Each structure stands twice: as structure tokens, then as C-alpha cells.
Amino acid sequence: MIKTRWVRNAAVFGTAVTLSLACVGFAKESTAASFCQETDMAGLSLSLDKYYTENYSAPKEAAPASSSADATASPAPATSAPAEEKEDTQKNTEEARKEETVAKQFRDLGIADVSDYVNIRRKPTTESKILGKLYRGSAAKIIGEKDGWVKIESGSVRGFIRKDLLAIGEKAQKLAGKFGTAYAIVKPGTITLNVRSKKSTKSTIVTQIPEDEKYEVIGESDNWFKVTIDEGTRGYVAKEFIKTRVRFKKAISIAEEKAELRRKAAAEKAEQERLAALEAEKAAAAQSSSSSSSSSSSSSSSSSSSSSSSSNSSSSNSSSSSNHSSSSSNSSSSSNKAPAVPSGTSGSAIANYACKFVGRPYVWGGTSLTNGADCSGFTMSVYAQFGYSLPHSSAAQAGYGRSVSLSSLQPGDLLFYKNGGRIGHVAIYIGGGRVVHASNARDGIKISNYNYRQPACARRIVG
């Protein structure tokens, strides 16, 4: 009996040690920031709404007291173990089995399961200083526990949260489908990967994406992931060329929250100041035109009658020429030609101005730089602040300015991308191989590598 009990305890202890070593190894591999942002999806379903039920269903019923190996062994003595010993053994076995059903990355992960946010405090007490906030659905790595509080790391914040406000372990895993976002990353060595309209290598190529770029997964089948690239741009990529991650939102420190408010206020101020400057430029141009017209009129009236007649004739011809020029200019504008460059405007100035709105929301059909815009609404509004009139359509904007090669890009150039066979997205090149653009509802206005998907063409509006 003693030998049997020793064997059972040794087995339970061995399982516990194995699980502990796995957790320790994982902790060494992950930083607090990466843990919250991108968690390895190996072995997990990417159909996040079916995440738990498909891959980590409820533990199987407890196995019989005797395994198949036991059945071939000599019969055990007729005496039974004490009731307390059986209960302890069953409890330990159940806990070990339950632990095995929880994916490794969720064993020390906590997700804020609250209506808004939970405060992160310096010490495990409600009177302690607030260091940051963990908003609903955001995740944190648990590094300790004390008196109903857990010590966490998330983003740049390290502090204490009440344990009852977090979903931990198995509960966190069940919430992964609700709050986690799955991403597909093109494996290194795959220079470009085709994104297809259907789950077939014979279907139309929507676009191409490079290695190491990250795209949201919105569905999967046996051999394909369905991903979203930009607004309205979706397609299928072959699983064999993809590695996957799940990303959760992370904590925000009080300092970061204040900085975000300052950035928003700065963006609004920049928009107002640029509008005021544009109005001043228009007023100065109008005044200069009026002054020039008045001077010409005064000179004409001081001439002799015959000179006046000649001058009038000349003026008539000049007016006719001017009208023709104006008509030509209007025709040129209506033929997708950019207006004249305002004084002091450069592509770099436009690119720098556009970057002030990184982090602002994406809104389909929107044109507000601060409250939300779509891709062409963003580029249209940025250029409007410098006196340029562009249409609210990426396909139409691709006909403005002049064509430039991708090897000759300069800050301020517009870069266009195709959805299948037609232009469907536009971004502003900012230099260094990067663009700023209104991407999608999840990411808003952001900066990406210019070749995060295959560019179709580029147009230069300035210069």
C-alpha cells in the first residue's frame, strides 16, 4: 500500500514539475510588452470565436483507477485506501488534468474582465497610487500574488490589480476569442506572397504581401487563412507560408494617457493653424491680384485717347488671352491636373503634417483629420490644408499630378495600391521607405512600410 501511494505521489509530483518548468521557460522567452501584444498561436485555433470549444474542450472523464498496464499486473490487495487519501489523490489528479487543458501562454495571463477599466496600483491596496489602467479586454502577465491581489506587467506598467477583476488561466483562455486578435505573419524567406480572391491557387490575385508583415486573420479553412489588408481589401493566403500570433491590447500608464491627450490636442491645433495659414495665403494672393489690377487700370486711364484705344485693343486681346488661359487652367484642373504649388509648400512639409495625425481613427467615408477619415479622405484633407483640391476617391486621385517611379519616391508623393485589377487604396510617402495612411477601423491612421503590400503606382502632386 505504501509503495502504491509513493508511486502515485511521484507521478503527480513529476507532472507538476514538468508544468512548472514549461511555465518558467516561457517566462524567460517573453517580455511583458511582447506577452501582451503578440502571443504565439502554435497549437491554437485561429477561429477565435470557436477557440476554446474546438481546441481545449472540457477535460475528459477521469480514467479508471487501474490503467491498461495495471490490468496486466498482479491483483491489488483487497484492502482499500483511506477515504481522505483517495480524495486528495483525485483532487491533485483533477487539478493536473485541468492545468494541461490550458494552453501554456494563458497560465499566467490575466485579461481585464470589467465594464471599462481596472486601476493598476503601486501597492496591493486601494489607497495606493494609481500607475495606469488596464482597459476591458486588455491583457497582462501575472508575476506574483498577494492577499487577493496579483502583481502584473503590461506594456510599460508594472503594479498590482485586484485578482477578482481579472480572468486568469482557463477563464482567460475562454475570453481569447472575444478580446484577442489573430494575426498572420509571412514567414521569413517568402519574399512576396500572393493574396487570392478565393481559396484556390487558380483564383485572382488581389495583391501581394512581403515577409515579416502582419495582417489580421478573419477566418480559416484547412489550408488557407482569410486576412484583411486594408479597408475593404481581403483575401486568402496559403497556411504553409504563414506563422500566426494572437495580440491583446496592453495597459496604458497615466503618463501615456496624458501624452495621448496632448497628441490629440496638438493634432487639432495643427489642423486649425494650417487652416488659418491657408486662409492668410488666399487673402494675400487676392490682395496682390487686386493691387496689380488697380495699377494696370490707373496706367491705362492716363494714356491719350488713341493710345487708350490701342491700349484698350491690347487690353481686349490680353483679356481674351487671359480668359483663354483661365479656361485652359480650369480645363486642366478638370482633367486631373494639380493646382499651382502654394508659396513655401514642399512635399516634406506635407508629409510631416500628415504624420501629426497618426493614431487618429479610421472612418469609412470620413474626411476629418482628427475625428476620422478613410484613405482618400485622409490624403484629400491633408493636401487641402496646403491649397490642393483632390477628389474623395483613391482611383480618381491616381490621375492627379505626374507619374513617378517607385525608385524615385520623395516625401509627399501619393502611393497607390490595387484591390484586384483596380486602385483601391492610397497613402502618403514620408521617406525612409515608409508611408502614412488611414488603414482600417482597427489600426486607424498609421505608418507602414511602403511595400507592406505591392504598390501599383505613385504620383507627385508637389514639384
d(C-alpha 353, C-alpha 436), whole Å: 11
d(C-alpha 151, C-alpha 123), whole Å: 9
d(C-alpha 343, C-alpha 121), whole Å: 53
Beta carbons within 10 angstroms of residue 430's beta carbon: 24
Helix (H/G/I), strand (E/B), else coil: 409: coil
Residue type at 395?
A: A
The conformation of residue 59, written as its DSSP 8-state character, comes to P
Helix (H/G/I), strand (E/B), else coil: 19: helix
Of the candidates 324, 392, 425, 457, the residue annotated as catalytic is 425
The conformation of residue 241, written as its DSSP 8-state character, comes to G
- Active-site residue, 355 included: no
d(C-alpha 33, C-alpha 164), whole Å: 23
Phi-psi category of 48—alpha, beta or left, where left has phi over 0 and alpha has psi -120 to 50?
A: alpha
- Active-site residue, 36 included: no
* Whether the Cβ atoms of residue 339 and residue 389 lie closer than 8 Å to each other: yes
- Active-site residue, 324 included: no
Where does residue 61 rank: exposed (0-12), middle (13-18), buried (19+ CB within 10 A)?
exposed
Q: Which among 42, 43, 452, 425 has a CA at the least distance from the CA of 214?
A: 452
State the DSSP string of 161-219: EEGGGEEETHHHHHHHHHH-EEEEEEPTT-SEEEEESSSSTTSPEEEEEETT-EEEEEE
Map grid coordinates 484629400 to a residue: 380
The conformation of residue 239, written as its DSSP 8-state character, comes to G
Of the candidates 23, 36, 355, 375, the residue annotated as catalytic is 375
The values of phi and psi at residue 191, to 5°, are -60, -50
Query: Which residues are part of the catalytic machinery?
Result: 375, 425, 437
